[in-house]
Amino acid sequence: MTGTTDFARGRSWLVFSLLLGSACTADREEPPPAAAAPSPAAVVDVHSFARPEEARVRHVSLDLTPDFGSQRLAGTARLVIERAAGADSIVLDVRDLTIRRVTDAAGAPLGFELGQGDSIRGQPLIVRLPAEGDTVVVDYETSPAAAAVQWLRPAQTAGRRRPFLFTQGQAILTRTWVPTQDSPGIRQTYDAVIRVPAGMQAVMSAELLTPEGERAEGGRTAYRFRLEQPVPPYLFALAVGDLEFREIGPRSGVWAEPSVVDSAAREFAEVEQITAAAEKLYGPYRWGRYDILVLPPSFPFGGMENPRLTFATPTVLAGDRSLVSLIAHELAHSWSGNLVTNATWNDFWLNEGFTTYIEGRIMEELRGKDYADMLRQLGRQSLLATIQDLGGPQAPDTRLQLDLAGRDPDEGMNDVAYEKGAAFLQTVEATVGRERLDTFLRGYFDRHAFQPMTSEQFLQELNADLFRGDEALAGRVRAREWIFEPGLPDNVPAVEAAAFAKVDRQVDAFRAGTSPDSLATSGWSTHEWLHFLRALPDTMELPRLAALDQAFNFSRSGNSEILFEWLRTAIRNRYEPAFPALERFLTTQGRRKFVAPLFEELATTDWGRQLGQRIYARARPGYHSVTAGTVDHILTPAPAGNR
């Protein structure tokens, strides 16, 4: 692990006083009122080397050619820069990039230097700015090991005919494929031309300007893109593969491999209703189209909120639309996260906590309160489990605002941000009333559209705009305690899903010895089953597990969430008949949320660790670096004293 001193050296200052001008150039319709300008306090992003107060990137133009043979993206990034008077250099973030040349707009070489870095942040790339003009062109190539990029062989795709590649920028991985200032507080617009082999399709988190593609050199097809809204670089995204498109709504469609695209279109057919529900609550969707790309099964996340084009795991294709809350979640990021963005990764809860809260609200509109309450209760259960895993309610990482200096931001990306964050907004809602909170949130998104946000700044907003001097109200919410103290404050409202009461009765009956065949489970949805599985006793006799499996076919479930909960139970009890299904699950998808806890469960015993290591040897080559990195740590823990 890198020392903090090293970290302190290259820290970057995001200066909100905006001595370099407005951050919301593309928000032409609704510029935020000047009164809402954030306080001039400087915010440190310890995960970037950039010094935006000297010079900052405003726009990135990419011209990239993927080479599937050598697993490299090669080409240029043309950066449009804004600089303070007297600034003669700009500091970019890069990691594992080969920089071939840096020039000005006319092609005249510019001096550059790769500075001292570390394994988490990569390196600063310091470029001498041209005397004239505001353009810097970096000619570069990515490494096959680029952490953001996964290159898939044809055998790793659904069609098995063509290779595939996709990027994953969040949190600090964009610097492994684009040399830019990779900090969530430094928003940039972008455009791109991507030159792909004939027969392949490129898609990005941007408008596709050439749907048919253009003929390019070497028999390639060039696709052009443009995103006119400024976004943090973690939202730059690219995928290339054998992709087809199906329209599913007036402003939405799905991209997926040909054999998957129709089932994806059916699964996500409600996307327009989801978008309309969010708009009704928080104002217009500001990104034009909302499309969904279904990736091959190694995609490490459930979903990623890339602007205009959510990236999604195929493990949400349950066949019955029971997992579409994931789409509600990613769509919600179009407000919380993509419009108003955590200024640094310490404020990650401002992205994910808000989004999880909004996801619940959207699902309530779509499916009703009973349904949304099931989601909320499952979320609350995960939160309590996570707080325990992190060391209990005193553990520093159970705070909403984190201190990730010297650490990989990945370490802060757990259910605290999501579920404690959501629980905080549920607390505010319960205190001030839904209507007032909705009005506040809508104004918050409008006022801070296309800007970064810190926890402190949010707190100020809350006081100024929601509590408005009502000390009693503020005292009932206890926002400071929620945001800056560990644990779960005791004013959190209870969540009780009516539907789970009947599930609990069946769990009780099962515990009392009732045969699974005789339990009253008809009509249960995915979420009732999830609650049932989580409520089972930690240890069970093998015949009881066999009876459950026989009655409900869990080992063969086509629902990834249900299969996951069942496999966890199976490992805990060493129920070997489920192990072929476990091995299949771990070797055919790479979603970290499923993979990591299963390996963790395996790693708690000697036999399990051995089985885990054997399975991992087969599974690892198929995993994205994000998933492999986490599992590496689980199966080979750092030596004692170094953790």
Q: 24 or 304, CB closer to Zn ion?
A: 304
Q: Give the nearest distance from C-beta 384 to ligand BES in angstroms.
A: 17
Q: Give the nearest distance from C-beta 233 to ligand BES in angstroms.
A: 13
Q: 171 or 208, CB closer to ligand BES?
A: 171
Q: Evaluate the omega torsion of the peptide bond into residue 171 and state whether it is cis, within 30 degrees of 0.
A: yes
Task: From the list Zn ion, ligand BES, none, pick the one residue 326 interacts with, judged by a Cβ distance below 5 to 8 Å according to partner type.
Answer: ligand BES
Could you give the CA distance from residue 593 to residue 412 in angstroms, rounded to a whole number? 14
Q: Give the nearest distance from C-beta 21 to ligand BES in angstroms.
A: 28
Q: Give the nearest distance from C-beta 153 to ligand BES in angstroms.
A: 24
Q: Give the nearest distance from C-beta 214 to Zn ion in angstroms.
A: 35
- What residue ranges in 490-607 does DSSP mark as E strands? none
Q: Hey, how many other C-beta atoms are within 10 angstroms of the C-beta on 606?
A: 8
**Alpha helices in 253-368, H assignment, sequence order:** 258-267, 271-282, 325-332, 348-367
Q: 353 or 608, CB closer to ligand BES?
A: 353
Active-site residue, selected from the candidate residues 54, 257, 267, 330: 330
DSSP per-residue string spanning 362-427: HHHHHH-HHHHHHHHHHHHHHHHHHHHHTTSTT-GGGSSS---TTS-GGGG-SHIIIIIHHHHHHH
Q: What is the dihedral of CA 45, 51, 54, 58, to 10 degrees?
A: -80
CB 350 within 8 A of CB 336: yes
Please choose, out of 18-26, 347-355, 369-377, 424-432, the segment that lies near Zn ion by the rule CB under 5 A.
347-355
Q: 171 or 499, CB closer to ligand BES?
A: 171
Which residues on neighbouring strands pair with residue 193, listed in sequence order?
A: 63, 224
Q: 117 or 302, CB closer to ligand BES?
A: 302
Could you give the CA distance from residue 220 to residue 394 in angstroms, rounded to a whole number? 57
As separate numbers, helices (DSSP H) first and strands (DSSP E) second, the chain gives: 20, 24
Q: Hey, how many other C-beta atoms are within 10 angstroms of the C-beta on 570?
A: 24
Q: Give the nearest distance from C-beta 341 to ligand BES in angstroms.
A: 11
Task: From the list ligand BES, Zn ion, none, pick the one residue 528 interacts with, judged by a Cβ distance below 5 to 8 Å according to partner type.
Answer: none
Could you give the CA distance from residue 120 to residue 397 in angstroms, rounded to a whole number? 19
Judging by DSSP bridges, how do beta strands 164-167 and 149-152 pair with one another? antiparallel
- Residue 270 a catalytic site member: no
- Residue 418 a catalytic site member: yes
Q: 561 or 601, CB closer to ligand BES?
A: 561
Task: From the list Zn ion, ligand BES, none, pick the one residue 593 interacts with, judged by a Cβ distance below 5 to 8 Å according to partner type.
Answer: ligand BES
Q: Give the nearest distance from C-beta 468 to ligand BES in angstroms.
A: 32
Q: 165 or 295, CB closer to ligand BES?
A: 295
Closest CA to 340 of 181, 230, 182: 230
Task: From the list ligand BES, Zn ion, none, pick the one residue 303 interacts with, judged by a Cβ distance below 5 to 8 Å according to partner type.
Answer: ligand BES
Task: From the list ligand BES, Zn ion, none, pick the one residue 302 interacts with, judged by a Cβ distance below 5 to 8 Å according to partner type.
Answer: ligand BES
Task: From the list Zn ion, ligand BES, none, pick the one residue 170 interacts with, judged by a Cβ distance below 5 to 8 Å according to partner type.
Answer: ligand BES
Burial 483-512 (b: 16+ CB within 10 A, else e): bebbebbeebeebebebbeebeebbeebee
Q: Please, which residues have CB within 8 angstroms of residue 555's CB and are 6 or more apart in sequence?
A: 549, 563, 566, 570, 577, 578, 581
Helix (H) or strand (E) run with residue 457 in it: helix 455-461
Q: Give the nearest distance from C-beta 75 to ligand BES in angstroms.
A: 25
CB 495 within 8 A of CB 376: yes
Q: Give the nearest distance from C-beta 419 to Zn ion in angstroms.
A: 12
Binding mask 351-380 for Zn ion (x = CB under 5 A): -x--x-------------------------
Please choose, out of 14-22, 178-186, 349-357, 543-551, the segment that lies near Zn ion by the rule CB under 5 A.
349-357
Task: From the list ligand BES, Zn ion, none, pick the one residue 188 interacts with, judged by a Cβ distance below 5 to 8 Å according to partner type.
Answer: none
Task: From the list ligand BES, Zn ion, none, pick the one residue 27 interacts with, judged by a Cβ distance below 5 to 8 Å according to partner type.
Answer: none
Residues that bind ligand BES (CB under 6 A): 170-171, 301-305, 326, 329-330, 333, 352, 413, 593
Position of minimal CB gap to ligand BES:
302
Q: Give the nearest distance from C-beta 449 to ligand BES in angstroms.
A: 19
Q: 76 or 252, CB closer to ligand BES?
A: 252
Identity of residue 174: T
Active-site residue, selected from the candidate residues 140, 190, 418, 623: 418
Q: 242 or 364, CB closer to ligand BES?
A: 364
CB 280 within 8 A of CB 198: no
Could you give the CA distance from residue 458 to residue 38 in angstroms, rounded to a whole number? 10
Could you give the CA distance from residue 322 to residue 317 in angstroms, rounded to a whole number? 9
Cα–Cα distances in angstroms (integers) from residue 529 to residues 14, 495, 540, 548, 552, in the given order: 46, 18, 18, 12, 10
- CA of residue 559 relative to chain centroid, distance: 21
Which residues on neighbouring strands pair with residue 142, listed in sequence order?
A: 97
Q: 317 or 327, CB closer to Zn ion?
A: 327
| Active-site annotation, residues | 330, 418
Contact positions toward Zn ion, by CB under 5 A?
352, 355
